[in-house]
Amino acid sequence: MENAQDRNSPRMPRSVLARTLRRVAIMLVAYLAVSNLVVWSSARDWDRSQAEGHEVWRRENCMACHAVFGLGGHMGADLTNVISRRGGPYVEAVVRNGLNKMPAFDLSSQEMEALIEYLARIDALGEYPLKGVRPPAFGRQKEGGLGQQPSPAASNELDREETN
Amino acid sequence: MSGDPQFEGRVVPTAVRVLAYAAVSAFFLSALMGLTAAIRLGLPADWFVNLPFQRVRPLHTLFAFMGMILGIFALAAGVFRFRDWSLKLQTSLLIGFTALAAILVALGHFSGREYIAWPPYLMPFLMAPLVLLVIELWRVRPQAAERSPEAFWLLFTGVGLLLFGLAETQLYLLPAIGGDPVRDLTVQWHGLDAVFAGINVSLYGAAVFFLEPKAKPLRPLPLFSLAGFSMLFTFGHHHYVSPQPSFLKVLALIASLIAAISFVRHLQIYGKLLARNSEERPAHFFLLRSAEWWTVVAIGSGIVFAIPQLNLYIHGTYLVVMHAMGSMIGINVFIILAGGFAMVGYRENSAANIRLGARLVNYSLAGLWVVLAVPSLYRGFLRLEHDFPVIEEAMRPYLWSFPALGLVLLVGLFLVCFEFLGLCFEESSSAVSPARLQGANLDENVAGEGEKA
């Protein structure tokens, strides 16, 4: 093993090396094929104007504390449906002033608008956490769309929180 | 000092020792950052209020990630004789990357992505040593495949997956992917799954080289096909509830359930390791047996969590955090440390500390599993009706266990790491008996041979 002259050792049948390398190649080629499948099958719609909101989300590392569809940090709330459940003004107030363990962020009006637009786009894609009795195991597509008003229940909770 | 007989009389290159030292240091720093984050999470808001969680979390994941990457390089370079210039270049690039990424993240320059936390312009500094490792593995392929065909395909495939997966996680930089949230989420998690599969597979492959004296033949073709399918398609179970294509969710479920075969196999191996005679066991055997136990837990919990009806309640809870922590600490860190001890050796009088440290890590991980299971399921049910403030309030009494048990884990890890770091630059001398080497076997067949002997 440690001697370069042993590289072509006659002890090992060439077929073992060939079979080993074939398995490596099969796995890596299969991986690339599945990657292509993932890239092309998951396309929904894309819009360059959303890039700015995504950029703000990434630059401030919101994901460290917040999640989307349950993926991300658990320190803060999952923000998948924050726009429909709480509304854009609520998001802006919390980001500007901070809340509990969340610090305040100094975003420009344009950045704030882009961030809210990005979250509204996420909101329109589906629901998380799923509400109700026995929700569908593979998720639920949202019937509503962008710019929904927060539900009365969410507004009541917001009022309670602000009072506290 | 004791070590592994296969390294008897062999001088472990300084660069390999530096890599091992850096890997263990990275794990310790990661544990320190993890404890800091746990304190921030588990204690009231006015404690550590100035501690920016948005920097602590990426630092924690960065150090854990780099600990594993450095460990793969250390073990691979410990087994094979790489060219000196290449090994030194790999070492310099990896350590330079880790330091630079940590500084940038601490200064607030992030990628803003899960796990791959550093700015994207640093990626070439991480990819370059991986390319060098692929070249070096290609150079030694005849000897490597002769010594253990199964271990070599695992190691080589793992490094390849790691390289491809890292590239895939950067596809969000393309507007057509980063600008489409569904596509971004699906591609990102496919890439991350490949990265972590690559780490696990290459570490396991390297461990087989290190710790099994007999060549491990390639597994039968049907098992290889099932393992490959499982490795390629499990990624979809990370977000069943997202709008990713439905067929990917179904494939993920099938691939996850196939892991039951692996679960049964690892359970059998663990049973055989438990039956080993205590007199045959070197200190690093304890680490390996623990790694085997946490492999059983990780695969078992992964299968349970992948059942969609249960995933609804478990996804996004601390149980998933524990699944990841158990896998990374209990399996990967223990394998790297065991390989490190096998390579550089250890003093007979330090074996007790190694065992005590490993026990503390085991107990704290087990404790975290137990005390977080109930609140996690509670959280899963609560969120069907309530929003975050209500859930956060309900969870508060349970979260103290994070920093408390995290502290025990840190002490345990410190004990093992301290022993290792102290020995890293001492020369390994006397060897242990072959019987002791057999005690360290991971493979069921070889373990069986040992029992017969």
Mean per-residue pLDDT, B90-110: 95
CA angle, residues B195, B200, B202, in degrees to nearest 5:
90
pLDDT digits (tens, 9 = 90+) for B268-324: 989 988 887 666 667 778 888 899 999 999 999 999 999 998 998 898 888 898 899
Residue B3 has pLDDT above 90, yes or no: no
Nearest Cα residue in chain B from A1: B143
Determine the pLDDT at residue B403.
86
pLDDT digits (tens, 9 = 90+) for A111-138: 999 999 999 989 988 888 888 777 888 8
The residue with tokens 């950067």 is: B170
Tell me what ipTM this predicted complex has.
Answer: 0.85
Q: Does A82 touch chain B (CB under 8 A)?
A: no
Q: Does B114 touch chain A (CB under 8 A)?
A: yes
Determine the pLDDT at residue B212.
77
Find the largest Cα–Cα distance for chain A. Answer: 81
CA angle, residues B309, B199, B253, in degrees to nearest 5:
20
Share of chain B above pLDDT 70, in %: 88
CA angle, residues B395, B400, B405, in degrees to nearest 5:
130
From residue B198, how far is each of B78, B161, B220 by CA, in Å?
Answer: 19, 5, 21
* Average pLDDT of every residue of chain B: 85
Q: Shortest Cα distance from B328 to chain A (angstroms)?
A: 18
Q: Does A139 touch chain B (CB under 8 A)?
A: yes
From residue A158, how far is each of A79, A116, B64, B145 by CA, in Å?
Answer: 15, 18, 38, 63
Element at B170 (helix H, strand E) = none
Minimal Cβ distance to A139: which of B111, B242, B389: B242
Mean per-residue pLDDT, A9-23: 78
Q: Does A99 touch chain B (CB under 8 A)?
A: no
Residue B372 has pLDDT above 70, yes or no: yes
Is the backbone peptide bond immediately before A129 cis, with ω within 30 degrees of 0? yes
The residue with tokens 């990917």 is: B248
Determine the pLDDT at residue B430.
38
Nearest Cα residue in chain B from A57: B112
Q: Shortest Cα distance from B279 to chain A (angstroms)?
A: 31
Mean per-residue pLDDT, A97-122: 90
A83 near A143, Cβ under 8 Å? no
Mean per-residue pLDDT, B14-38: 90
Question: Which residues 392-451 of B are in CB contact (within 8 Å) with A?
Answer: none
Whether B177 and A39 lie within 8 Å, measured CB to CB? yes
Task: Identify the residue with better confidence: A157 or B198.
Answer: B198
**Cα separation, B192 vs A72, whole angstroms:** 13
Q: Does B232 touch chain A (CB under 8 A)?
A: yes
Chain A residue numbers with beta carbons less than 8 Å from the beta carbon of B152 are: 20
A131 near A153, Cβ under 8 Å? no
**Cα separation, B39 vs B402, whole angstroms:** 7
Chain B residue numbers with beta carbons less than 8 Å from the beta carbon of A76 are: 388
Q: Does A124 touch chain B (CB under 8 A)?
A: no
Q: How many residues does chain B have?
A: 453
Chain A residue numbers with beta carbons less than 8 Å from the beta carbon of B161 are: 27-28, 31
Residue B47 — pLDDT band, cuts 50, 70, 90? low
Share of chain A above pLDDT 90, in %: 46
Task: Identify the residue with better confidence: A12 or B443.
Answer: A12
Determine the pLDDT at residue A142.
63
Task: Identify the residue with better confidence: B345 or A128.
Answer: A128
Residue type, B218: L
Of A71-75, A112-116, B51-55, minimum mean pLDDT range: B51-55
Q: Does B109 touch chain A (CB under 8 A)?
A: no
To test the contact with chain A by mutation, choose from B387, B390, B392, B395 the residue with the greatest count of A C-beta atoms within 10 A, namely B387
From residue B19, how far is each of B12, B31, B267 by CA, in Å?
Answer: 11, 18, 32
Task: Identify the residue with better confidence: B425 or A53.
Answer: A53
Chain B residue numbers with beta carbons less than 8 Å from the beta carbon of A73 are: 53, 57
